Amino acid sequence: MRILSLLPAATEIIFLLGLEKNLVGVSHECDYPAQVKILPKVTSSPVSNLMSSLEIDKAVKKLSHKGPGIFHINSKVLGKLKPDLILTQELCEVCAVGFNKVKKAARILDSDVKIISLEPESVEDILDNIKTVGDYTNSRARSRKIVQKLRKKIDFLASHISPHTSPKPKVLIIEWLDPVMIAGHWVPEMVELAGGECLLSNKGEKSVYITPKDLKKLSPDIIIFAPCGFDISRTLKEKKLINDLRLMINESEFYLMDGNSFLTRPGPRVIDGVEIFSEIIHPEILQRKHTKKDWQSLKKLQTL
């Protein structure tokens, strides 16, 4: 089987299933694990992480509504790879190349290629996606074992945290910095599993924009900066935006988190993201095991 993954989360699932030898190509956003970087890239985008948060937001809106789209599929590379199975998504046209665009591009292929769209809205959906990929790649048993292992992690957290979560700390997860956006989809559920109360957004709902003024009215106990597609080093390049928000809402505790790895990518490492939330929200219960590359605290009055 020749597999093409146009979704970073799906690429991680393929490696977890031990099918990396079947992976013939990926999207330009697939960056984990490290071995994936040598594979042919089938997509590209004019939007770059070298741009500021505001520049990215403006570019995405312009390309989505008036331009050719955020993502370009290289038909020449696609034709050479001749995949039997293409993994993509239909949940968010901003996060990865969409299903309809992939379906149209795949018309150049001679073979009867299967195109699978993964559309998770919850943690349970993410686990189901692992099983779905397993079913389509003759890896059913392996996928079930992986899901069982990930469920055990969740159950472990629940057994340690649930007896000690009254009242629950109020938590805000900032998914974008300029304009400010609060994370939705599976993220509120992640916060709940970690023993917190997620403010403003609910499980399965889309991420929402909010003004800094309205943000302050929510009086969160904890604010976690985890911008979509950014690791911590990239997030820190927006330190003025972060400092301005902290000065406006100085009664909260602030943290940085690798959103690209553990939050906005609906793959297996989302469960690690739940662990990180647990370490942040309930440090008195769980001993820290994740590094400062994964998350770190911003002390009060500390200027970046």
Structural domain contains residue 238:
yes
Q: Taking CA 218 as the corner, what is the angle to CA 216 and CA 224, rounded to the nearest 5 degrees?
A: 80
How many distinct structural domains can be found in the chain? 2
pLDDT band for position 130 (cuts 50, 70, 90): very high
Structural domain contains residue 241:
yes
Q: What is the pLDDT of residue 299?
A: 74
Indicate if 125 and 192 belong to the same structural domain. Answer: no
Q: Taking CA 152 as the corner, what is the angle to CA 145 and CA 117, rounded to the nearest 5 degrees?
A: 55
Q: For residues 295 and 263, is the Cβ–Cβ distance under 8 A?
A: no
Mutual angle of helices 140-161 and 270-281, in 10-degree steps: 10
CA distances, 143 to each of 127, 150, 199 (Å): 9, 11, 33
Q: For residues 255 and 277, is the Cβ–Cβ distance under 8 A?
A: no
Structural domain contains residue 259:
yes
Q: What is the pLDDT of residue 96?
A: 63
- The whole-number average pLDDT for the span 116-131 is 94
Instruction: Pick the last residue of a domain from 144, 177, 200.
Output: 144
Looking at residue 35, the DSSP 8-state letter turns out to be G
pLDDT, one tens digit per residue, over 9-65 is 999 999 999 999 999 999 999 999 999 999 999 999 999 889 999 999 999 888 877
The residues facing 3 across adjacent strands are 23, 85
What percent of the chain is modeled with pLDDT above 70? 94
73: nearest Cα among 46, 39, 44: 44
Q: For residues 148 and 265, is the Cβ–Cβ distance under 8 A?
A: no
197 three-class SS? strand
- The whole-number average pLDDT for the span 266-287 is 95
Parent domain of 175: 168-291
Task: Please give the structure tokens belonging to residue 150.
Answer: 């990930």
22: nearest Cα among 85, 96, 115, 110: 85
pLDDT of 293 > 80? The answer is yes
Structural domain contains residue 130:
yes
Read off the CATH number of the domain in which 106 is found: 3.40.50.1980
98 three-class SS? strand
Q: What is the pLDDT of residue 303?
A: 61
Pairing, β 72-73 against β 43-44 = antiparallel
Q: Enumerate residues 6+ apart whose C-beta is below 8 A from 129.
A: 9, 10, 13, 118, 120, 266
pLDDT of 301 > 60? The answer is no
- The whole-number average pLDDT for the span 156-171 is 85
CB crowding 25-50: b at 16 or more within 10 Å, else e: bbbbbbbbeeebeebeebbebebeee
pLDDT, one tens digit per residue, over 63-110 is 877 666 888 999 999 999 999 999 998 766 666 676 777 878 888 887
Instruction: Pick the last residue of a domain from 111, 144, 177.
Output: 144
Structural domain contains residue 211:
yes
Q: What is the pTM of this model?
A: 0.92
